[in-house]
Amino acid sequence: MISPPRLPFLPISIFATVMGLAGLSIAWTKAEPLLKLATLSPLLMGLTGTLFVVLLLLYVVKVVRHPEAVRAELHHPIKLSFFPTISISLLLLSIVTLHLMPHLSKGLWLLGAGLHLGLTLYVLSAWLNHDHFEIKHMNPSWFIPVVGNIVIPLAGVEHGYLEPSWFFFSIGLLFWLVLMVIVFYRLFFHPPLPDKLMPTLFILIAPPAVGFLAYLKLTGELDAFARILYYAGLFLTLMLFTQIRRFTRLKFFLSWWAYSFPLAAITVATLVMQQRLNTLFYLWLSMLLMGILCLVILGLAVRTGLAVYRREICVEE
C-alpha cells in the first residue's frame, strides 16, 4: 500500500498497468479456443478489475488530499495525456466482461465512452490554447487521449451502439494520421526521446492494431482496408523489435508498461487473422506473440513489485 507521504507522487500513468493486464486478459480469452490454452481469462479478469478499483480509490484520495499535485499533472505537457488511461481502462474492462457479465459491461462502456469523450475534448482544448508546449514534448503517449477513441467500437458494436461507434472510430482514425506525422517528424529531426519516454514508442503499434479490430467489428469484413490496418501494425511491431537492444538497456520506469497494451493489441489482431484465415503462418505468429506478451507482462509485474518494495516509484521526480 502507498503510504500518505508518497501519495502526492502517485502518477496518473500508473493506470497503464490496468490497460496492460486488460490487454492480456482479452488476448488470453481469444487464444483459449484457438491455441488450446488453459482457461485463465476469468482469473485475469478478476485481477484486472481489482487492480483498477484499488488504483482508482488511491487516485481519488490523491485528488481529495493533494489537489495541487493533480492540477500539476493536468498542466504537464506529457502527464496530461495519461488521464484518459482511466477511461480506456473502463472501456477495456467492458470488453473483458462482455460475455460473462453483459450488463456490467454495458455500464462500463457507457461510463468509459462518455468520460473518454469529455477527456478528449479537454485535452484537445489544452493543446489548442496552450502557451508552453514544444515539439520536444511530443511523444507517442499523445495518441492516448484522441486516438484512444478507436477502442470504443470494440464493445460498443456488441451493445448495439453502431452509429456512436462509427463516430468514435472516425475521431481515432483522423487523429492517428495527424499525430503519426508529427511524432515521426519529432523523431527524425529532433533529439531522441529521453530514456523514460522510450517505451512509449510501442504505443505506435496500438492505433492500427486496435483500428483493425474495431473496423472488423463495424463492418464484419476482412477487406483491403482491414488488411492495411493489420499489416501497418505488424510492420511497426517488426520495426520496434529491431530496436530491442536499446529497450533492454533502459533503466526501469513505470513507463515500461507502455510495452504491454500495444503488444496485446497486435497479438489479439493476429489471433483474429488466424481465426479468419486459418493458416499455419498466423497460427505460429499468434503463438509467438502470445508467448512474448505473457513474458513481458510477467517481467513487468515482477519488476514493478521490486520497485514498490525498494520504494522506487511514487517518489518525487
| Tens digit of each residue's pLDDT (9 = 90 or more) over 239-298 | 999 998 888 888 888 889 999 999 999 999 999 999 999 999 999 999 999 999 999 999
**C-alpha distances out from residue 161 to 168, 170, 208, 216, 273, Å:** 11, 14, 22, 15, 25
Can you give the pLDDT at residue 252? 86
Residue 3 has pLDDT above 60, yes or no: no
38: phi then psi, degrees, rounded to nearest 5? -65, 150
10 C-beta neighbours (distance < 10 Å), count: 20
Can you give the pLDDT at residue 4? 60
8-309: CATH topology:
Glycosyltransferase (1.50.10)
pLDDT digits (tens, 9 = 90+) for 74-87: 999 899 999 999 99
Which of 282, 265, 284, 172 has its CA nearest to residue 218?
172
| Confidence band of 2 (pLDDT split at 50, 70, 90) | low
CA distance 95 to 46: 13
Residue 13 has pLDDT above 80, yes or no: yes
Helix, strand, or coil here: 278?
A: coil
Place of cell 500495444: 262
pLDDT top residue among 36 and 110: 110
Is the alpha carbon torsion for 174, 175, 177, 181 positive or negative? positive
**C-alpha distances out from residue 12 to 29, 68, 202, 248, Å:** 28, 14, 19, 24
Angle at alpha carbon of residue 277, lines to 165 and 281, rounded to 5°: 120
pLDDT digits (tens, 9 = 90+) for 106-145: 999 999 999 999 999 999 999 998 777 889 889 999 999 9
Do residues 293 and 26 touch, judged by C-beta distance below 8 A? no
Is the alpha carbon torsion for 140, 87, 313, 51 positive or negative? negative
| Confidence band of 35 (pLDDT split at 50, 70, 90) | confident
Q: At 47, which amino acid appears?
A: L
To which H or E segment does residue 157 belong?
none
Tell me the pLDDT of the chain averaged across its residues: 93
pLDDT digits (tens, 9 = 90+) for 262-276: 999 999 999 999 999
Do residues 16 and 260 touch, judged by C-beta distance below 8 A? yes
**C-alpha distances out from residue 90 to 42, 95, 108, 221, Å:** 17, 9, 6, 27
Can you give the pLDDT at residue 316? 73
275-314 burial by CB neighbour count: b if 16+ within 10 A, else e? eeeeeeebbebbbebbebbbebbeebbebbeebeeeeebb
Is the alpha carbon torsion for 52, 87, 303, 2 positive or negative? negative
CA distance 107 to 221: 28
CA distance 227 to 139: 26
Residue 1 has pLDDT above 80, yes or no: no
First CA to last CA across the chain, in angstroms? 20
DSSP-assigned letter for residue 131: S
Do residues 70 and 63 touch, judged by C-beta distance below 8 A? yes
Do residues 116 and 91 touch, judged by C-beta distance below 8 A? yes
